[in-house]
Each structure stands twice: as C-alpha cells, then as structure tokens.
Structure 1
C-alpha cells in the first residue's frame, strides 16, 4: 500500500511502508535538472547540489557528514537532466534526525564564499577526471550531436569553462529563485508510517509554498549521424531511434519487456548473437531513454577498430529483423520473467523502492507497488510489445561512433550505406 498526498503548498509525499525492516530510505526531489538551466547558468544545478552539503544556518559541512555517520546512515545527492535529488538511507532510529537535516539543507544552505570557491575547484577536478573516461566523453559527444543546441545536449555538470566562469552571487540567486525550500516531492520507503514521516518533515511541508510547474516543453531538433574522434584503442557505437513525446504506462512496461528481449539481458538477441556467437564486441546493450517531452531507444556497443563497421551493420540488421519478423513467443516469455524477476529482487532494497516512487511521480506515471508492476508485466501481450517498439522503429535511426581517427573513414562510409538503404 502506497500513501500518496499533496499538501496545500504543492509538495507531494509518497510513502511505501514495509513492516519487516528497521531501515528507511528517503529522497527529496526537484523536477528541475540541467536541461532547465539558462545557457549562462549551464552547470549551475550541479553546483547547487554540491553546495547544499557545505553548511546551513546551524550546521557546518563536517557536522552534516558526522551526523549521518553517527547514525550509520548513507547520504548523497545527484543531478540529472530533468531532476535533482538528495537521498539518505538510515536506521529507523535516525529518521527524525535525518529529516531535520535534509529539511535544513534544502531551506537554509549558506553558500559561504570560501566554501563556494573551494567547491568549484572540487567540481573542476570532477570534470577533469571525467575527461579521462572515454566512455563518458563519448556519451557527452553523442548527446551533443543527437540533441544539437537543445539543453538536453549539454553535459549535466557543464564544461570546465562553464564552472570557472560561475560567480557566487548568480548561483545564490538561482538557488533562491528555484531551489530554496522548493522541492516538489518527498519519497520514503521502509519500516515507517506516513504519520511519522509527516511529523518529521512538518517544517518543510508548512514552509515556502510551491510554485506551479509551468515549464513549457522545448522540443529538440534531432541532428544527423556523426563520428567523434577520441584518443582510444576501441570504437563506441551508438544506434539511436527517436521516439514519441510521451508513452503511457502500458507502453512503458511493454517497452521494458522488448528491451529485455533485444539487449538488456544476457539471453537477449544482441548479447547472444553479436557477443557470444560472433565475438564482435565486449559491451552490447539496449536501453530506452524517456524524458518529459521526448524519448529515444538506443543500442550501445564497444569493439575493436577492426570490428566497428560490422558491429554497426549487425546492430542494424537485428533492428530491421525485429521490425519485419517480430519476437518469438519464447523470447517474450523469457523477457517477461526477466523483468519481473529483476523487480522482485530489487524490491528487497528500500532505496530502490524509494527511487522507484520518485521516478513514477516525476514522470507522471501511475503510482504502483512492485507487485502491481509485476501484474502489469504479466498482462502485456505480444502485440502490445510490438506496438510499443513500433513507436521507435518507424523513425529513421541516428548513427554515431566515437573512437580513433583510424576508424573514422570506414565507419562513416558504413553509416552512409545504412542510411541510403532505408
């Protein structure tokens, strides 16, 4: 049973109580992320995420850390393209204290000048380290190419130049306008009652009224295929299919099953054929990516330079085969069992349940328990799965590669051949 209420100020609370645990996970969420930043504040949300833990009106950064350490809890935060969240997993004995600290963090972060300048250096180090990760560099390059000048194409944390140019006053103003005391959602899962959660978060619930979500969709203009040069010994291959602005719950679960059958499981077509049978690659998987007003379904693989063109061609062949001949009944039975089993295993983790509630709420899905989701999966028919995939398969692909210069000419030629064949 999930408790679901929205308070007068607009803050929504979801609580999934589980009797047989002495642990709770809590998340405080904003439905704003890097895509919602003005261009001159690129990377600003990520900076705010860091600064929330650098001291409040009554707590220093070290005191925040030590409070959570003392209760045996884990606390963290992250920024994504459409959300920013703080979350903690704690013993029930520490829940009230954790709620008090999280409330103080989101309502009275200080942004002390010395802490701010020091944290910018930390973030610069974070970005510099990411530039040594060729997979992360390729992912950012793909996003820039796929989304073009749309904010979804920006790196979530901004560039080194973005961060170095940030002034404390502009970040504080950004925080006060959009973040200070203005989370949109609290999600909790564990051995705790909704009444206890409401009492613990009462100061935040009765705090600053929430502003309505008036963000208007800014639809991206998807750009063409491309090859990005990297200092790397292997090639990263992307095969992306643009999708609809929105998919409903039924389409979502059908797509999850299709994804498991295609590339998200060891027994999937892509893994078995391209890695196990042909030995073309080390990494190969598929994944749907859903945003508030757009979507894509992509396949990603890594391989040696000598295999890059064939890997791209084989991925294309498998996509066309599914488009023309569909999945077998056995594939779908196995995929449904896989998705249901993964949910069953993950449901033993209160943090998973807490994050799952947040995903459903932030993307305006129906709120379901894990058991209800499994029942939904079992109700999906083969025709539902094909219809869901067709929302993506009907669109021409965006093809992308990232790797050494030596692979560029042949890989680009193969991209052209595939696109001409459509």
Structure 2
C-alpha cells in the first residue's frame, strides 16, 4: 500500500496488498451488504464480525438502552436455533463468540479455526437476521441486564467514567450510558426493541468483516447463501447507509464537577475535556500526546504521580474519538484526602505539556511505543477484524501498519504542543467517586491555560 485506501460506498470491489503481505478485499453487494476480509499469511484461525452503525447515541428517549438490550437478545434463539444451539455451535469447536455495543456501533463476532469459519458465518447470519425476541426470553434477559447494570454501579471506576461523559458532553447523546439505566431498562417493552431491531438490521446496514485464514470469494458465497436462507432478498438493489456526518458537533459542557459520595477506601478521579473527532486529521498527534502524558510507565503522569510521589497505584490518560467529537481524560485512583493534590498534579502536567511542549526524546519514545503496540496487536485476528469494521463504518478508509507508522513519523513536537494548548484551554470537567467534598476542587481551573 502507498497511503490509506479510501472505501467509497459506491465502489463494488476492492483488492489491495497491505503490510506484511496480507490481502485486503472488499465487496459491496447489490443489496448494500458490505463484506471486507483480510487474509493473513500463516493464519489457521479467523475472526468474523457482523456490524451495524447503530449504538447507544441513536436511541429514542423511550428506548434508552435498547441497543445493548438487543445485543443480549440476539443470542436467545431463532426459528432454526435455540440459545443452547447457538452456544453449542461454538463450544463444540473450541470457538469464542460474543458481542459488543458501543456508542456508535454494535458488533456480533466469533473466533474459530479456519475450517469452522463457514459455521460461524451461518450462525451469526441466522442470529443477525432472524432472532425472534420471544417474550419469555425478553423478560428473563431484562433481569440479566438489570444485574449487569447493578454490577457496574458497584464498580467506582465504571461509575466515574459514566459521570465524566455526562459532565463533558452534557445533553449530547454521547453522554448517555451505553446500557441505559435501571429505570429505562425496566420500562422498555418488547415491541419497542423489536421496532429498533427491524429498523436497523437490514441489508444496507450490514457490514461483515473477517480477518485471518479466509478466502474472500468463499466468504462472499457463504454470506450470500446464509442471508438468502434467512429470507433476505439480496436481489433487491439498495445502497449502503451513509456514514455519520463528520462535522464537529457544537456541544455545551454538562457540568464542571460531578461528585458521587460513597464510603470507598479510594477515590476514583477523572478530569476531562472535549477531544478530537475520529475523522480529525490530527488523530496521530493526539495519540502521541496521550502517550507522552499518560500512556505508559514512562509517561509524565505515571512518573510524577506514582513514581515520584507515591500518590496512586493506577494513573493514566486516554483519548477517544467519535464521528463528531471526542474526549480527552486523565484518571487516578488515590486516597480521598489526597484527591485534590492528585487532581492539581495531573492538570499541572497537562498544562506544562501545553506550555513547554515535549522533547525530541519523548516524541521518539512515543512513536516507538505506539508503533510496537500496533504491530503486536495485529498478531491477533480480533484486532484486525475490528480494524476492518471501524475502517468501514467510521473512517471510510483503511490504513495498514506501514501507513500508521508513516503518520506517526510525520508528527512534530510543535504539533503536539499546539494541540495540547488547544485542548487544555477547553472547559474542564471533574468527576469523582468517593468520600469527598466538592469544595476540595475549588480553584482547580482558576490558573489561565497556556495559550
């Protein structure tokens, strides 16, 4: 490859050799179904994912949490297979199968040996197209999800993460928890979830990605047969659904502080600002910035908060991008009585990076860390399958490892400093869970941000 490969929705066939000799192929069927594969030399297994670009941000008020609810229900049976049949299909071959619901997409996936890939495709296709959402199973799974929400609510790190998204994104749909709330899950009815299913699981919505030991032509034939068996008429012409609008959203911060008072031994603390959208051309820059600030044991946050002062065991930063916005966050778990000190230290390191920039040594180290971790991740077909899915749904382009390394190599210290200054000047939100008084954070952002 020479640069990223564009994935226009009106391009029917694509064939490209990527770094490491893997073969990328893409087919867009007349019905709008998109199929992408990455054949990896030497692989003896494959990971397959069935994707839709529908996540928690797409729900209506009366169906909050229904996307995640539906993810559970698709494992509960079809006219051809019971829930046990689905589970046995993968257990009997030593395979793995699961699903993930995110804010902007849902994926049902499985990892199997190469000889079992046709079975995995057939089962996932049956689940995706023909789940019955039987009433008894619906009510049973409602209880399971309520228990899942209760488990998350018992985890302070989960709670503080949800509160930070609410604080940073305010009334924007990205602020909502993916799983909904106990009230919304308790209230949603089967008919509402069924309508959500039928409205969003159509040929034009479906993206299938496979990475590992896969023959693309056999894959397309298998998917076509499986979808046809399920009753989908793939001869009806249909264009793939348009990707999300990538223009930056105008978002008003929800709150400056959100404190959840709980008698925990440790305070869980997050500081956050709005970050960059997934399509922003500065994504390599924020990746370098995050690595230097809090991306590893040599990062500034780790060295300053943990190694030098011993104030936290876990301390890091993160950057997540969505179609129209993003978030940059700094996390630490610490003694409640030191929470204010830790917050000031973390914000101080962020500001220092914005004011003084990073060194050439830090830039080189970040490039090495990110390049190496990217290469290691691609040893796993799960990561390659996910890369294909996000390339198709979110980015509209595919970047192999060589292109990723090229983009990282193009980042300069000046770009990192300029972006840090831009981010640190944005409204700051603080979220915390623990035995804390909100007043301990008074004045945290009084210091003028570096320009």
- The question of a shared fold, defined as TM-score above 0.5 by the shorter chain, is answered with yes
Shift of 1:365: 4.8
Distance 1:271 1:317, change over 3 A: same
Distance 1:418 1:226, change over 3 A: same
Shift of 1:181: 4.9
For residue 103 of structure 1, the aligned residue among 125, 130, 135 is 125
Distance 1:245 1:350, change over 3 A: closer
Matches within 5 A, 1:43-82: 43-82=65-104
1:309–1:410 CA contact under 8 A, matched in 2: no
Mapped partners of 1:115, 1:261: distance in 2: 48
Q: Could you report, residue by residue, the CA deviation over 1:193-213 in whole angstroms, capped at 9, with x for unpaired residues?
A: 211211111144963746633
1:184–1:210 CA contact under 8 A, matched in 2: no
Task: Give the structure 1 partner of residue 31 of structure 2.
Answer: 9
Q: Could you report, residue by residue, the CA deviation over 1:35-85 in whole angstroms, capped at 9, with x for unpaired residues?
A: 100011001001110111111121111001101111221010011111111
Distance 1:21 1:214, change over 3 A: closer
Structure 1 stretch displaced more, 330-339 or 137-146: 137-146
Shift of 1:372: 2.9
Shift of 1:129: 1.6
Shift of 1:262: 1.0
1:195 lines up with 2:224 in the alignment: no
Matches within 5 A, 1:11-410: 11-181=33-203, 183-203=205-225, 204=227, 207=234, 209=238, 212-213=241-242, 219-231=250-262, 232-245=264-277, 247-249=279-281, 251-404=282-435, 407-410=436-439
Mapped partners of 2:301, 2:275: distance in 1: 20
Mapped partners of 1:25, 1:17: distance in 2: 11
1:55–1:64 CA contact under 8 A, matched in 2: yes
Mapped partners of 1:247, 1:49: distance in 2: 27
Q: Which runs of 5+ in 2 are unaligned?
A: 1-16, 18-23
Mapped partners of 2:396, 2:300: distance in 1: 29
Mapped partners of 1:29, 1:99: distance in 2: 13
Distance 1:15 1:390, change over 3 A: farther
1:401–1:411 CA contact under 8 A, matched in 2: no
Shift of 1:283: 1.2
Shift of 1:386: 3.2
Aligned-residue CA RMSD (Å): 2.1
1:229–1:408 CA contact under 8 A, matched in 2: no
Distance 1:41 1:386, change over 3 A: same
Shift of 1:134: 1.4
Shift of 1:259: 1.1
1:106–1:181 CA contact under 8 A, matched in 2: no
Mapped partners of 1:246, 1:392: distance in 2: 15
Q: How many residues get paired?
A: 417
3-state secondary structure, aligned to 1:296:
strand
Mapped partners of 1:383, 1:4: distance in 2: 38
